[in-house]
Structure 1
Amino acid sequence: MPYNETEIKCVVVGDGAVGKTCLVKVYVDNKFPEGYIPTVFENTYLIQEYRGFKVNLGIWDTAGQEDYVVDPNPFENVRTRWLPEVTHHCPHVPIVLAATKTDLREDPASLKLLQQRSCKPVTTQEVEQFAKEIKAFSFQECSSKLNSGIKELFEKCIQAVLFPNEGKEGSKKQEESKKKKDCLMM
């Protein structure tokens, strides 16, 4: 079967310790790394088939910012730091929002810590609403520890570039992205 070949760059951005490197490692190596791995900057390339395309997927894992980790509002840094930075440097690139560490919704220690702060885990509905608010192409909940939703997350990044009109927004920005072959994951 002949393939259409394409190259896509997926840049992973976000706060430090939110699970960016783990989700890349699980996707590429199919193995969860134990312990925190601070990242300076790392590129990974892999070739895969997606809906009749031979995709050379370049995944750029960027460093987070440790000083933002303690913010109790999980969406605030996306809204005030990452989204403005992304839209400034890459104005026509689709965004796929990743809700990482979903396994912690059931973790007793995490739930206790949240309760002590009068907080609760973020719900799927809250993630979906926030994705719409920031005009993300899509969102995906995932857990690197459980290897849940990781493959689907990267497939949504590929879909955002190859089939931009299949996203919920279908915006002009997404049409522009098809020419650039880039996608950002937050």
Structure 2
Amino acid sequence: MSTKERKVALMGFRSVGKSSLTIQFVDNQFVDSYDPTIENTFQKAIRINGQDYNLELKDTAGQDEYSILPQSYFMNIDGYVLVYSVNSFKSFEVVKIIYEKLLDMKGSINRVPVVLVGNKSDLTLEREVQYEDGKKLASSWNVPFLETSAKENQSVAEIFSMVMMAILRAEGSEQKKGGCVLS
């Protein structure tokens, strides 16, 4: 069975930990220093349901409510990880705006595989966004949700398993509708 390619973009407000989550997943290490990302691409081979995938992760520059999202964030991207930091209510608000922009660009919600992630769950004393708030938002979008800590490597791999499952579900529903699915 040949390896299939899937592309996933990580999006969210600046310094929510998009790069830390990506590097923790790809290299099993935590990078503590904050160096604003322009845009990086990482590769990781994973296996889902017995099928090998080469996952291309696009670690995007931090967005804010006024960001014009480049076309490259929408073209040939199979799924999205929308990240906020549990110690930043602002980042939680920004992720809602990014989600709306995604829907505007990508169309129907059923075809946009998204996982909502509340990162930095280890910062319990600095928490501004409660677990229930993230869960409720994800539920309203009908997408998977989890809280993670890139620093403690808590639930990091699960993010990418969840987004892959969401991508595969979306592709399955496309095939059932008779749509064209490229792989």
Counterpart position of 2:93: 76
Contact between 2:174 and 2:180, CA under 8 Å: does it hold in 1?
Answer: no
User: Do the aligned residues in 2 keep the contact of 1:9 with 1:59 (CA within 8 Å)?
Assistant: yes
Distance in 2, Cα, partners of 1:125 & 1:71: 15
Whether contact under 8 Å (1:22, 1:32) holds in the other structure is yes
AA in 1 matched with 2:117: A
1:52 Cα deviation from its structure 2 partner: 0.7
Bigger RCO of structures 1 and 2 (CA < 8 A, at least 6 apart): 1
Paired AA for residue 82 in structure 1: I
Alpha-carbon distance between aligned partners in 1 of 2:140 and 2:90, rounded to the nearest angstrom: 15
1:46-76 per-position Cα deviation (integer Å, ceiling 9, x unaligned): 2121211111101000001368899745432
Going from structure 1 to structure 2, the CA distance change for 1:75 and 1:66 (only over 3 Å counts) comes to: closer
CA contact (8 A) 2:65 2:98 kept: no
- Summarize the alignment of residues 61-100 of structure 1 with structure 2, pairs less than 5 Å apart: 61-65=59-63, 72-79=89-96, 81-91=97-107, 92-100=111-119
Percentage identity across paired residues of the two chains: 29
| TM alignment of 1:17-56, pairs within 5 A | 17-56=15-54
Provide the secondary structure at the position in 2 that maps to 1:25: helix
Count the aligned residue pairs: 160
4+ residue segments displaced more than 4 Å: 66-71, 172-178
1:163 corresponds, among 166, 169, 178, to 169
What's the Cα RMSD here?
3.1
- Give a deviation string over 1:134-174, Cα, whole Å, max 9, x none: 232x1121000000010001100111112349xxxx9x689
TM-score normalised per structure 1? 0.73
C-alpha displacement of 1:179: 2.8
SS in 2 for 1:18: coil
1:149 equivalent in alignment to 2:149: no
Q: What secondary structure sits across from 2:122 in the alignment?
A: helix
Contact 1:99/1:140 (CA < 8 Å) preserved in 2?
yes
Largest Rg, 1 or 2: 1
2:131 paired residue number: 124
